[in-house]
Amino acid sequence: MTATYRVRKSNNAQVINDLQKQLYDSDELPVFAMDDREWWVVWHGEVSVAYAALRITGSCAWFSICGVVEAHRGHGLQKRLITARLAFAKKKGIASVYTYTINGNHPSARSLIHKGFVPCTPPAEHYGCWAGVRDVLYWKREL
């Protein structure tokens, strides 16, 4: 029987950092703090195949990362992770969700557009969230 995908909230740092290593193939990546953002993991049977995070700052929330293991791309997992994070933010009373895509990341841009994000100018006080990231397009979704 083919395993189905399950999207679950997670606070398992090991699982998340293992996915991070697998996706970005580097030993020099930051080890994510688990306490300043919310995390979701997609499971395919017993295997973790995708992850995403949301960070809440005041009345806004930020999609801070998302990644899907290559063999599992194109199955709508990023869109499911967007849906899960939007639902969580809405429950928390968040007014706006922001994120960015690095220019040329068409799959990510498509997923955000499908889920109602529109290009925007981010609030200046939040530039610091993206320090060092250049050539990006910013996106916003009102809840």
Ligand X SMILES: CC(C)(COP(=O)(O)OP(=O)(O)OC[C@H]1O[C@@H](n2cnc3c(N)ncnc32)[C@H](O)[C@@H]1OP(=O)(O)O)[C@@H](O)C(=O)NCCC(=O)NCCS
Question: Are 43 and 115 a contacting pair, CB within 8 Å?
Answer: no
Strands (E), 1-143: 5-10, 38-44, 47-57, 60-68, 96-102, 118-119, 136-142
| Contact range with ligand X by CB under 6 A, out of 29-37, 67-75, 118-126, 134-142 | 67-75
Please report how close the Cβ of residue 24 comes to ligand X at its closest, in angstroms: 8
Q: How far is CA 131 from CA 106, 126, 134, in A?
A: 22, 9, 8
Residue 77 is a binding residue for ligand X (CB under 6 A): yes
Residue 123 is a binding residue for ligand X (CB under 6 A): no
Please report how close the Cβ of residue 94 comes to ligand X at its closest, in angstroms: 20
Cα 127-132-135 angle, rounded to 5 deg: 85
| Contact range with ligand X by CB under 6 A, out of 28-36, 53-61, 62-70, 132-140 | 62-70
Neighbours of 127 (CB within 10 A): 11
Residue 16 vs 68, nearer CB to ligand X: 68
Residue 67 is a binding residue for ligand X (CB under 6 A): yes
Residue 73 is a binding residue for ligand X (CB under 6 A): yes
* Secondary structure (3-state) at 142: strand
Judged by the rule CB under 6 A, the positions of this chain that interact with ligand X are 65-68, 73-79, 105-108, 110-111, 114
